[in-house]
Amino acid sequence: MPPSIAVIAPGSMGSAIAARLVEHGCKVPTLLEGRSEATRRRAAAAGMTGASAAEIADADLILSIVPPGEAVALAEQLATVINRNSRKPLIVDCNAVNVETIRRIEDIVLSSGARLVDAAIIGLPPKPGTKGPAFYVSGDAASDIAVLGQLGLDLRLIEGPIGAASALKMSYAGINKGLTGLGAAMVLAATRAGAADALRDELALSLPHVQARLANALPDMLPKAYRWVAEMREIAGFLGEDHPAALIYEGFARLFEHIAADVQGQGTEAAQLVAFAERCKAKT
Amino acid sequence: MPPSIAVIAPGSMGSAIAARLVEHGCKVPTLLEGRSEATRRRAAAAGMTGASAAEIADADLILSIVPPGEAVALAEQLATVINRNSRKPLIVDCNAVNVETIRRIEDIVLSSGARLVDAAIIGLPPKPGTKGPAFYVSGDAASDIAVLGQLGLDLRLIEGPIGAASALKMSYAGINKGLTGLGAAMVLAATRAGAADALRDELALSLPHVQARLANALPDMLPKAYRWVAEMREIAGFLGEDHPAALIYEGFARLFEHIAADVQGQGTEAAQLVAFAERCKAKT
């Protein structure tokens, strides 16, 4: 019988992962208490079933897929319920948290008698017919969730302790989303100075792949900028407060905050970024 | 007769540009007073001739190619001498300075009766048999230096005022060198957390061109890191002190400072970056 795999919460990533597990015959309970009507509908569409915290604790695996700021609180909530249970699930923390945070979560989970796998989801939510996203896992218990690889997830084992998968997520996002941040900052500054077309031409000549990437990534980033603020601060925390590079990611957090405010407001800078991306595509 | 084109100073870029102009029949005077024996030898090898400031002021064009922190002082020195001359040369400021700085330089140059072209050199110093680097120019007088295009330089006119070429240089370097900085910060952090190989694998799969670029750019950056510190602060200044993204480039300045100190010292982190680059190349 396929395992029972709880997925919390039914956000866009969580519900898409859940849909894939359901396709492969799993029962996927989730917490719906206090959630909006839209979230309940998304969960139902994915084939997830509403459950109590006690029922969640009875699952074989629990996938934690929440905004980074909620990861510790969810671990605490689960640990409280699991503490009372004789059956102990395996918790898979899939959140974009830094290494220090995942170690805190490990302490919380272990104290309840459950075990923890550190996971990093890299890529967009799975769509029917596609393979991704990559689902990296690390920690002693990682080899015990090999079953996820037979349930439609692109599972990749990292030989490393709790923290290795989170470090991968942080460092990959630091390069990938960081590049989008650099592009946004510099395209806006070049536009203000009347040098946007020259920048596009020079990128096309000497960094064509970077230009092509920015042409897609800049418009894609706009609706997500508000979410990237906290993720950039997790990366700063990953580097450590005193590390000189932490300042880079605090800067990205403020830049995405600024862009998110523009998207919500006048949209002047958002329009400049879209215009640049369109001129890149027109040329290539 | 080919014009007389002074080039100050005979650094690695200045002397390579000078050598190309000399090849095309130009006389290339430069300032050698107080310079090291190595610099004098490099200037002589490029076919440059030592000259007094007064002789420099008699040239048709003067190319200013100095570290960004020396650009204003050189403009002041030249303006003082040109002020006394009836003949007024055209000064081409090729330095990696921000828009505010080039406008200050414009004021200084115009007050001496000379004219200014804003230029941005993008790429490595020219080598025999190659075309580059790109030599972007802007400002009202830019069309008057078209002759440089017949003297072996890859001249590209930007239709924009003084500041547009500098803005291009800043924004291009902000993306190009910024990407190298992101890569360095994240590769070092992933290495500390035991996730460097996983990072290499995920980059190879989902951002192969970024991985290939970092494999070359990380080792190339090490001996230049000390120079990039001031350049990153110019980019922060280009964005404006109060702009949220300025913090990103202050962070890069501190990161490159940290790396330059490591290169001068133990070299532990430098070795980690080289090892990552080599493992990228071994895989691809």
Q: Using CB atoms, pick whichever of A175, A189, A254 lies closest to residue B182.
A: A175
Same fold, B5-161 and B167-283: no
Residue found under tokens 């490159």: B256
Look at residue B283 in the predicted model and tell me its pLDDT: 62
Cβ contacts of B239 on chain A, cutoff 8 Å = 185, 189
Q: How far apart are CA A100 and CA A97, in angstroms?
A: 8
- Residue-wise pLDDT for A202-231, tens only, equals 999 999 999 999 999 999 999 999 999 999
Spell out the domain ranges in chain B: 5-161, 167-283
Q: Is residue B141 classed exposed, middle or buried when 0-12, 13-18 and 19+ CB atoms within 10 A define those classes?
A: middle
Segments in chain B below pLDDT 70:
283-284
Q: Using CB atoms, pick whichever of B203, B238, B254 lies closest to residue A189.
A: B238
Q: How far apart are CA B47 and CA B276, in angstroms?
A: 41
Distance from CA of A256 to the nearest CA of B (A): 9
Q: Using CB atoms, pick whichever of B206, B210, B247 lies closest to residue A123.
A: B206
For domain B5-161, is the CATH number 3.40.47.10?
Answer: no
Give the Cα-Cα-Cα angle A156, B196, A125 (nearest 5 degrees). Answer: 40
Look at residue A49 in the predicted model and tell me its pLDDT: 95
Instruction: Work out whether strand B115-122 and strand B134-138 pair parallel, antiparallel, or are unpaired.
Output: antiparallel
Helix (H) / strand (E) containing B283: helix B268-283
Give the Cα-Cα-Cα angle B182, A195, B97 (nearest 5 degrees). Answer: 65
As a CATH number, domain A167-283 is 1.10.1040
Complex-level ipTM: 0.90
Contact A164/B195, CB-based, under 8 Å? yes
Cβ contacts of A160 on chain B, cutoff 8 Å = 193-195, 198
Look at residue B3 in the predicted model and tell me its pLDDT: 86
In this predicted structure, the answer to whether residue A284 has a pLDDT above a threshold of 70 is: no
Q: How far apart are CA B99 and CA B86, in angstroms?
A: 29
Contact A172/B257, CB-based, under 8 Å? no
Task: State percent of chain B over pLDDT 70.
Answer: 99
Distance from CA of B266 to the nearest CA of A (A): 18
CB proximity A213 to B under 8 Å: yes
Contact B185/A174, CB-based, under 8 Å? yes
Contact A176/B247, CB-based, under 8 Å? no
Contacts across the A-B interface (CB distance below 8 Å):
208
Helix (H) / strand (E) containing A78: helix A71-84
CB proximity A163 to B under 8 Å: yes
Instruction: Give strand pairing partners of A4.
Output: A27
Name every residue whose Cβ is closer than 8 Å to that of residue A266 and which is 6 or more positions away in sequence: none
Q: How far apart are CA B261 and CA B283, in angstroms?
A: 30
Q: Using CB atoms, pick whichever of A183, A199, A250 lies closest to residue B168.
A: A199
- Best mutation site among A168, A201, A209 for testing chain B: the one with the most B CBs within 10 Å? A168
CB proximity A195 to B under 8 Å: yes
Look at residue B47 in the predicted model and tell me its pLDDT: 96
- Residue-wise pLDDT for A101-114, tens only, equals 999 999 999 999 99
* 8 A C-beta contact, residue A123 and residue A135: no
Distance from CA of A184 to the nearest CA of B (A): 9
Contact A255/B244, CB-based, under 8 Å? yes
Look at residue A283 in the predicted model and tell me its pLDDT: 62
CB proximity B276 to A under 8 Å: no
Name every residue whose Cβ is closer than 8 Å to that of residue A160 and which is 6 or more positions away in sequence: A138, A139, B193, B194, B195, B198
Task: State percent of chain A over pLDDT 70.
Answer: 99
- Residue-wise pLDDT for A150-165, tens only, equals 999 999 999 899 999 9
Contact A182/B163, CB-based, under 8 Å? no
- Residue-wise pLDDT for B153-192, tens only, equals 999 999 899 999 999 999 999 999 999 999 999 999 999 9
Looking at domain A5-162, which of 3.30.479.30, 3.90.340.10, 3.30.565.60, 3.40.50.720 is its CATH number? 3.40.50.720
CB proximity B189 to A under 8 Å: yes
In this predicted structure, the answer to whether residue A74 has a pLDDT above a threshold of 70 is: yes
Q: Using CB atoms, pick whichever of B246, B247, B251 lies closest to residue A244.
A: B251
Look at residue B126 in the predicted model and tell me its pLDDT: 86
